[in-house]
Structure 1
C-alpha cells in the first residue's frame, strides 16, 4: 500500500486544537513536559522494580512470596513502559533530549528495542492509526482479526474467547522474536526501517545481551532453572497482558473506526486530527489510580493529538479538546469505566469473528 494522504481542509480542526492548547500553556505558564511529578514517579517505579528484582534473584523468598513478587515485577515493567519509556520516546519526559533518550532506553533493559519501537509506534502507528496494512498494532494475523478489512478465518469465530492467550505472550514475543523479525527483514510490517548505522547495530545487540543477562542468565545461575522459568513466565505474562490490553482498549473497540484510503488516489476522507479522533478512544479517565499506573494512556485521544505533551497534563487538556469537539460536532469516543472498555473490546473481537 502506498502512503495514504490525509485531507487538507481550508479550516483545519487540528490548527484550532493546537491554538487552544497553546493558549492553555501560555496562560498557565506550565511546561509541556512532565516535571517533578513525572520524575518522582519514574524514580519510584524504577527503584521499586530494582528492589523486587534483587530480592527475587539474590535472596530467594518463599514460593508464595516469589510468585507474588514475580507478578509485581511484571506489573512494574508495564508501568515503566507506560510512564517512562513511552514519554521518553515521544520527547515529552523532559525538556532535555539526553534525558528523554535515557527514559526511552528503559525499553531496552526490559526487553524491547527502542529503535524498533520508535519506527513502529511513533512513526507508523501515530501517523496512520487503524489503517489496515500500515498500522502494525492491528496486525495480529492470522490468529486475530483486528480490522474489518482483514481476511476472516474460521478460528476467528472464537477469538473473543482466546485473545487473552496472545496478549499474555506479548512480552515473550516482543523480546524473543518480534524485534529480530524487524531487524533482519528491515521492515515493520510493509514499511521499511530507517537505515541503521553502526551505533544503532551495536546498541541493538548490546542491549539485547544486557536484557538476557539480567532476566535469564543471572537468575538461572542464582536460583536454578526451574525456579527461574516459573518466575520468568509469571513476570512475562503479567507484563504482556497489561501492555496489550491497555493499547487495545484505545483503538480496537466498538466505537472506533478503521478508515481506508481511496484505492486509486490514496486519499483519506478526513484530515489527520479528525482521523485520530475517529480511530481512538479514552477509558476510565476519572480513575486516578488507573491514570497514574498507565501513564495517562487512558487519555489516548489527548496523547494521539499531542504526543509531545507529557501525560501529566492530559486530564486538563482533555477538557479543552472535548469542548472543541462538541462545538465542531466531532466524534469523541470515551468509556467512563474500565470494564465498559473491556467489554466493548470483547464485543468488537466477537463482531470481527463473525463479520
Structure 2
C-alpha cells in the first residue's frame, strides 16, 4: 500500500508542544538524560559484561549457569530499553557521539542500528498500528494483530501460544529478520534507503563480532551443548521481555488500528492524536517497572516526544493528560502491568476469533 497521509489540522500538537517547551523552560532542565540515567547505564552494562565473563571464562555449575543466562537475558533487554532506545532516538545525551555509542549497544547484541532506525524510528513511530505499513503488527501468518489482517484457524489459539513466539523474537531478529530486510531492501512493504559504505561495514562487521562473542567463543570454551542451552535461555528471556513490553503499548483492547480512506488515502486524525489513540501506558506509578523498562510504560509520552529522554516522562505525562481532557481525547492507561497483560491476552483472543 502507498504511504497514508494524516489529517491537516495540527492544533492539538502545536499547543501540546508549546506547553511541553514551557515546562522545560520553567524547570530549567534539558530534554535529554540526567546523571541518574548515565549511572543506570553503567550499572546495566557492567552487570552484562560481568555475567558474560563469568559464564564464558569461569563456568559456574549448571543450575547457576542457566539462571545467570536468564538474568543476562533480562539485563540485555534492560540495556535495550534504557540505553539503546534513548540513544537511537537521540535523547540519551546532548552529545551526538554518546547517543551513537548508546545506540550501538544494539549492534554488539547482534541487531543493527540502521535497520532499527528505519523500522522503529521512521516507520513505527510515524504510522503506528496502520496495517500494511507498521511492521511491528505484521506477525503473519503466525499471529493476527489487526482486524484488517486475514484470520487463519491457527489464530484461534494465539492467546495461548503467543508466549512461545515472543520468546523467539531475539533469536529470529538477529539471525533472520535483519538479513531479510537487508537483502529485500524493504521493511514490510516500505523500501529502506540505500545503505552507505559505512552502514554496510557496521552491518557486517558487528554481525561478525556478535558471531564471535556469542557463538564461536562460548562454544570453544564450553562446548556446543552447554552453549546451546545457555544461549536459548538467554535469548528466550530477552525475546519475551522485549516483545511483551512493546506489545503492551499498542496491541491491547483500547488501542485503535486506524486505516486510511480508500480513495483519499488519508487517516482520520492529525499525527499526534493518532499516536494517542493507538498507544497505551501501563503501571506508570510503579517505579521499579519504570526503572527496568526505561520509561516505556509511558508509551504515550514516548510516541509524542521520542526525542525527550524517558526520565522526564512522569512529569510531562501530567501535561499530556490535561491536554487530552481539554480536547476530549481518550488517554489509554492501565494502572497495573497485570491489567495490561490481561488486556493484551483478551485482544489476542478477540483477533483470533473475530
Q: Which residue of 2 aligns with 1:278?
A: 277
Q: Which residue of 1 aligns with 2:6?
A: 6
Query: Which sections of structure 2, spanning at least 5 residues, go unmatched?
Result: none
**What is the root-mean-square deviation in Å for CA atoms of aligned residues?**
0.6
Q: Which residue of 2 aligns with 1:68?
A: 67
Measure the CA separation in 1 of the matches of 2:204 and 2:149: 34
The within-5 A match list for 1:1-355 is: 1-9=1-9, 12-355=11-354
Question: By how many angstroms is 1:111 displaced?
Answer: 1.4
Question: By how many angstroms is 1:199 displaced?
Answer: 1.1
Deviation track 1:18-55 (CA, whole Å, cap 9, x = no partner) reads 01100000000000000211111100000000001000
SS of corresponding position for 1:233? helix
SS of corresponding position for 1:250? helix
Question: By how many angstroms is 1:63 displaced?
Answer: 1.1
Measure the CA separation in 1 of the matches of 2:329 and 2:124: 21
SS of corresponding position for 2:64? helix
Aligned residue pairs, count? 354
SS of corresponding position for 2:333? strand
Which contiguous aligned blocks of 4+ residues in structure 1 show a shift greater than 4 angstroms? none
Measure the CA separation in 2 of the matches of 1:235 and 1:87: 23
Question: By how many angstroms is 1:175 displaced?
Answer: 0.7
Q: TM-score, normalised by structure 1?
A: 0.99
Measure the CA separation in 1 of the matches of 2:336 and 2:188: 33
Measure the CA separation in 1 of the matches of 2:295 and 2:146: 25
SS of corresponding position for 1:258? coil
Q: TM-score, normalised by structure 2?
A: 0.99
Question: By how many angstroms is 1:102 displaced?
Answer: 0.6
Deviation track 1:211-265 (CA, whole Å, cap 9, x = no partner) reads 1111101101111111111000000000000000000000000000100001111
Measure the CA separation in 2 of the matches of 1:307 and 1:201: 26
Query: Which sections of structure 1, spanning at least 5 residues, go unmatched?
Result: none
